């Protein structure tokens, strides 16, 4: 391409203008940089306080700190002008002026109860993070359920703060008294579950631990272990099919050293889910009033302050409940009505007066069930027991109602 003289002149003018514009822009940028540098605060404040200062994960702990590297203002007004802010573990925190080198910082709430540094900024310039740290510890506000079986194994829901820092694999992440919980699961910053270990009867403190610290004990962080009581069946307790008083031995713990202590322990007994009248006898014995039971066994459950023990199987013995006549001569022959109770009572057989077999016929049914028996002859006078076998084949037990007497004449 060829250029005319005129075009070369025009190009030269344009180039010169471009140089002037570029130079002016560069100069303006330099001035802007100088102005910016002039307004920046070069002061980087450092903060010092006792290392591992404890603080609630819920926030609100006031921490006095000493400031170095510059001033925070000789007055509250100067402090305000310096626009000093604070962060704890990266979270914005309220800060209050004390004097030129001292502040009070209020910790913010955190989802992770862990160690956290403090950092100050002055007019937007951030200082270094503190060498010391705030030791956030988790908080507990509720444990549900608050009553547990002493056998352990109950899954408990714990509500509180700072739980995202809980290590569920740590052996002491959650403790009940001195025993560690198992199967800890962190659900959120405010909720976790743990399987309670076995414990002893009475109150136990529940604690949650993180690398920041251990939760404080309060009335909401306690559980009440209740001994899982049951009926001792080693001696084979037997109840009458007609119902009535029965002495039972308690296993798994005591029922109190006095009637007053027994009452405070809130212990109840049920037979096949039917609540029974209960009387304290001593630390390991109770007297219960059984209802009539038309079966060979009954299951008794002891409940200790809403904590049910394992049901215990109790034998039910068929019995004679009444005799329409209580005596006859050794010759026998009198017809009397024998009433009985037991499993399949209507099918009862094998009636005997002492060692003597009797002929008996069933009469009525249900509440009117009875057997009309002819008194068999005897070889000698004296008292004997009337016995039989229930419809399930179980031999009847002796009761006062079954006593019959033979006379010589």
Domains and CATH numbers, the chain: 46-136 (2.60.40.10), 138-226 (2.60.40.10), 230-317 (2.60.40.10), 319-407 (2.60.40.10)
pLDDT at 34: 35
3-state secondary structure at position 401: helix
Interatomic CA distance for residues 5 and 155, integer angstroms:
97
3-state secondary structure at position 384: strand
Global pTM reads 0.76
Q: Mean pLDDT throughout 121-130?
A: 97
pLDDT at 39: 52
> Cα dist. 165→113, 142, 191, 401 in Å?
5, 18, 12, 71
pLDDT at 165: 98
Specify the range with the lowest mean pLDDT, choosing from 37-41, 73-77, 142-146, 185-189.
37-41
Indicate the average pLDDT of the chain.
91
Q: Mean pLDDT throughout 206-226?
A: 97
How does residue 397 score in pLDDT terms, banded at 50, 70 and 90?
very high
Percentage of the chain modeled with pLDDT above 90: 88
Indicate the pairing of strand 147-149 with strand 222-226. parallel
> Cα dist. 29→26, 94, 136, 193 in Å?
5, 38, 47, 61
pLDDT at 36: 40
What is the layout of strands, in order, in the sheet containing 335-341?
A: 319-323, 335-341, 370-374, 359-363
Interatomic CA distance for residues 327 and 264, integer angstroms:
50
How does residue 237 score in pLDDT terms, banded at 50, 70 and 90?
confident
How does residue 38 score in pLDDT terms, banded at 50, 70 and 90?
very low
Give, for 403, the enclosing helix (H) or strand (E): strand 403-407
Residue 196 CB coordination number (10 Å): 26
pLDDT at 409: 77
Question: Does the pLDDT value for residue 8 go beyond 80?
Answer: no
> Cα dist. 143→159, 200, 248 in Å?
6, 18, 35
Question: Does the pLDDT value for residue 98 go beyond 90?
Answer: yes
The beta strand positions in 241-377, using DSSP E, are 244-251, 267-271, 274-275, 278-282, 285-290, 297-304, 307-308, 312-317, 319-323, 327-329, 335-341, 349-353, 356-357, 359-363, 370-374
How does residue 125 score in pLDDT terms, banded at 50, 70 and 90?
very high
Looking at residue 347, what DSSP letter applies? Answer: G
pLDDT at 13: 36
pLDDT at 255: 96
| HSE-CB for 182 with a 13 A CA cutoff | 5
3-state secondary structure at position 172: coil
3-state secondary structure at position 181: coil
CB 174 within 8 A of CB 196: no
């Amino acid at each position: 391409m060829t250029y005319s003289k005129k075009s070369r002149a025009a190009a030269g003018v344009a180039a010169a203008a471009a140089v002037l514009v570029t130079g002016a822009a560069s100069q303006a940028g330099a001035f802007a940089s100088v102005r910016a540098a002039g307004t920046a605060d070069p002061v980087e404040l450092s903060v010092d306080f006792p290392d591992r200062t404890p603080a609630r994960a819920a926030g609100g702990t006031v921490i006095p700190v000493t400031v170095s590297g510059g001033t925070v203002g000789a007055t509250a007004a100067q402090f305000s002008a310096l626009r000093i802010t604070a962060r704890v573990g990266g979270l914005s925190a309220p800060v209050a002026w004390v004097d030129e080198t001292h502040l009070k910082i209020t910790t913010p709430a955190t989802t992770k109860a862990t160690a956290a540094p403090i950092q100050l900024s002055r007019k937007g310039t951030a200082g270094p993070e503190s060498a010391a740290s705030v030791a956030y510890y988790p908080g507990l506000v509720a444990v549900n359920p608050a009553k547990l079986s002493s056998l352990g194994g109950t899954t408990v829901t714990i509500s509180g703060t700072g739980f995202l820092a809980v290590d569920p694999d740590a052996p002491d992440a959650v403790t009940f008294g001195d025993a560690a919980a198992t199967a800890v699961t962190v659900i959120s910053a405010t909720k976790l579950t743990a399987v309670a270990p076995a414990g002893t009867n009475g109150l136990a403190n529940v604690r949650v631990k993180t690398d920041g610290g251990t939760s404080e004990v309060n009335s909401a962080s306690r559980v009440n272990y209740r001994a899982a009581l049951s009926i001792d069946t080693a001696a084979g307790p037997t109840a009458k099919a007609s119902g009535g008083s029965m002495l039972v031995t308690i296993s798994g713990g005591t029922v109190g050293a006095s009637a007053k202590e027994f009452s405070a322990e809130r212990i109840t007994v049920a037979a096949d889910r039917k609540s029974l009248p209960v009387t304290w006898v001593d630390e390991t014995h109770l007297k219960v009033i059984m209802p009539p039971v038309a079966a060979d066994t009954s299951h008794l459950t002891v409940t200790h302050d809403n904590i049910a023990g394992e049901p215990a199987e109790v034998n039910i013995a068929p019995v004679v409940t009444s005799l329409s006549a209580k005596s006859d001569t050794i010759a026998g022959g009198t017809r009397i009505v024998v009433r009985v109770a037991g499993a399949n009572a209507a099918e009862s057989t094998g009636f005997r007066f002492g060692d003597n077999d009797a002929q008996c016929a069933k009469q009525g049914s249900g509440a009117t069930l009875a057997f009309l028996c002819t008194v068999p002859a005897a070889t000698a006078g004296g008292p004997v027991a009337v016995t039989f076998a229930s419809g399930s084949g179980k031999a009847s037990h002796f009761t006062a109602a079954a006593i019959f007497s033979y006379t010589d004449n």
